[in-house]
Amino acid sequence: MQSNVFYALQEHILNNSPLVACESPFQERLRFFLGVAQICHKLGKSCYLWNLGESAIKKVSISVEGNLVLQDFDARQTIITEQKRTEYFEVFDFWQTQLENGVLIVENIYPWLQAENVVKQTEFLLMSEWIKSSLLNLKLYNDRARKTLILLGDSASLSKDMVGEIPIISHELPELDEIISVLRHSQILPVSLENKYWSEIARAGIGLYASDIIRGLASLNKEFNLELTASAGEQIVKQATKQLLEYKIDLLNKLYNIEFVPPPKVKLGGLELMQEAFQKFKVLLSPVAKQYNLRVPKGVMFVGPPGTGKSHAAKVCAQIMGVPLVLVDWGNFRSEGDRAEVKLQKLLKLADRLNQIVIYFDDLDKGFAGDDDLSRRLAGQLLTWMQERTSDVVVIASVNRMEWLPPELTRAGRFDYIYKVDLPNNGERHAIFKLHAARFDCRFRNGGDPFTEAEWRRLLKATNRCVGAEIQTIVERAAATTFYEMLAGGEIDRNCQPQLELTVEALLSERKQMNPLAIREADRVESMRHKADIQGLPSSPIDDSIYANGNVEIFR
């Protein structure tokens, strides 16, 4: 199955379009050359390649075996005689006057064609204008010629005066059918695999380009039997799927500066109302819901003070829905400078291709604190995508201060649900303590609870206004201190016995060494809580646990 980018390019080449801009990732470079060469071979056209690293134009062809062949073009016709940048770009004059009935691929000149807001030195700007004029001349003089110049790079960013003159084609991430076709032709897996196995392996590769998928499977055992039994086929698909998924997670994290997490397995204490809502969202992913024209919400916002568990809650929500989670630090885009919008665009395209996922933007409000032009452009890009997308992507964003966000970002149709993630009440703190204590003290596992009600009341009263992150720290410190004391006292033998047991006194001792944020910065935290009260839905029901009576609010 041929990629959509090659269908589009073939149409332009057939129509003898003089200029075409193509955006294709670097890892697809060889496959791109091969695809264009195959088109030219089929149409009886010559194919050429030139980039900044070449001192001569290369002729691109296909060998008898179907492989890519690059050869130096006739040196007598090569106009580049010295390694000078100004002479490099005379390739445009050469193409205008010398070659007929062909295709020339020119790589990596997009930096000279980008948007006007990029501040560059005078020499760079003069070179940029010279290149733009050369390209426009090509379009003017070659309008009726049987040749096409393809501009190739990983980001086809054109200035406004060029956008209307040069059509842009994007090399999109492959869909499931294209991935299956790539896998069948890669000769990495036995061709006799059942169709269901091809689909299962291909689904693991969704979100990767074809070259990455082949590279991710390259180390598989190639000595598979051609005659497969059912059990052998299952073993192969299990091995291939596992390897491809591991490769995908590692590569996506590096390429997009994100954290891609398969459906996580975590526990959350509290926030029952929010968890119930995501149970409903899970049902909306079903094909039956689609028949009723029902869709998952476009966006969900978590509002509340720092440390209340918003990031952890996002993982739980992805777990409830049974879909992968993509964690994104919104502030990272601002640090990318001129490439921020390009990186966000690619990330959103990835999310659309992955389809049924939760994408979590952490600390979204901090990206808008400066109220600068970049913030507004990024916000506009995110809003447009959220408004127009058709994929089943649930966007979750965490914010501490909603007043820093543009008003249009929080209206219905963008973020349909806004939940207040507040300081945990007594019942929730009890659940959070048990959840973390079970990591160190086996008495808390499987529903166990070694503390008395009176001991819990002491602990919960002492940790009033502590958030989940602070409770986790208290437990971890208490466990470390208990272990140290056991080790110093010679209590631990070679078999790591006895088991570590947490005490209320150890937990209270660690609490005394901590000054919770909600007390240390009471005014700021209460301001956040008050505004979240006004704008958000409650994420937790009223505390009806046996410890509720001791939940005394202060600083209100």
- Look up residue 507 and give its two tokens: 């937990």
- Confidence check: pLDDT of 47 > 60: yes
Q: What is the pLDDT of residue 551?
A: 45
On whether the CB atoms of residues 309 and 271 are closer than 8 A, the answer is: yes
pLDDT given for residue 209 in this prediction: 94
Least confident of 31-40, 104-113, 315-324: 104-113
Residue 369: which pLDDT band, with cuts at 50, 70 and 90? low
**pLDDT beyond 50 at 81:** no
Average of per-residue pLDDT across 494-508: 90
For residue 460, what are the contacts with CB-CB under 8 A and spacing of at least 6? 426, 429, 430, 547, 550, 551
Mean pLDDT value across residues 198-216: 93
| Mean pLDDT across 154-158 | 83
Q: In three state form, how does the secondary structure of 407-439 look?
A: HHHHCCCCCCEEEECCCCCHHHHHHHHHHHHCC
- The amino acid at residue 431 is A
Instruction: Tell me what the mean pLDDT of segment 227-251 comes to.
Output: 83
Average pLDDT of the segment spanning 397-419: 81
Task: Give the model's pLDDT for residue 479.
Answer: 96
Higher pLDDT, 241 or 340: 241
**For helices 230-256 and 340-354, what crossing angle results, to 10°?**
160
Q: Contact 339/264 with Cβ under 8 angstroms? A: no
User: What average pLDDT does range 429-441 have in this prediction?
Assistant: 94
pLDDT higher than 70, residue 317: yes
pLDDT at 490: 84
Q: How far is CA 529 from the centre of its chain?
A: 30
Is-contact 396 520, C-beta < 8 A? no
- Helix (H) / strand (E) element for 201: namely helix 195-204
Report the DSSP pairing between strands 537-538 and 417-420. parallel
CA distances from 70 to 9, 42, 246 (A): 20, 18, 34
CB of 265 closer than 8 Å to CB of 320: no
The predicted-structure confidence for 284-306, as pLDDT tens digits, reads as follows: 999 999 899 998 998 999 998 88
| Average confidence (pLDDT) over 339-354 | 90
- Cα distance between residue 28 and residue 556, in whole Å: 59
Structure confidence at residue 135 as a pLDDT band (50, 70, 90): confident
Q: Is 159 helix (H, G, I), strand (E, B) or coil?
A: coil
More confident site: 119 or 555: 119
Mean pLDDT for 532-542 is: 86
Q: What is the pLDDT of residue 87?
A: 60
User: What pLDDT shows up at residue 221?
Assistant: 62
Q: What is the CA radius of gyration of the chain?
A: 30
Most confident range (mean pLDDT) of 135-149, 230-244, 466-480, 535-549 is: 466-480
Q: Which fold has domain 261-420?
A: Rossmann fold (3.40.50)
Which range is least confidently modeled, 44-53, 64-73, 226-235, 368-377?
226-235
- Which residues contact residue 317 at a Cβ distance below 8 angstroms, ignoring those fewer than 6 apart? 274, 275, 278, 300, 358, 394, 396
C-alpha to C-alpha distance for 263 and 480, rounded to whole angstroms? 31
Q: Which residue has the higher pLDDT, 403 or 355?
A: 355
CA angle 517, 521, 525 (to 5 degrees): 85
User: What's the rounded Cα separation, in Å, for the pair 538 and 428?
Assistant: 14
CATH 3.40.50 fits 4-170, yes or no: yes
Look at residue 554 in the predicted model and tell me its pLDDT: 43
Q: Tell me the C-alpha distance between 366 and 329, whole Å.
A: 10
Is the link from the previous residue into 18 a cis peptide, with omega within 30 of 0?
no
497 vs 213, more confident: 213
pLDDT of 549: 57
- Whether pLDDT at 441 is above 80: yes
Cα separation, 181 vs 175, whole angstroms = 10
3-class DSSP assignment, residue 133: helix
Q: List all residues 6 or more positions away from 117 whose beta carbon is below 8 Å from its beta carbon.
A: none
Confidence (pTM): 0.83
- DSSP characters for 302-313? EE--TTSSHHHH
**Average pLDDT of the chain, as a whole number:** 85
Is the pLDDT assigned to residue 524 strictly greater than 70? yes
At residue 5, φ and ψ (nearest 5 deg) are -65, -35
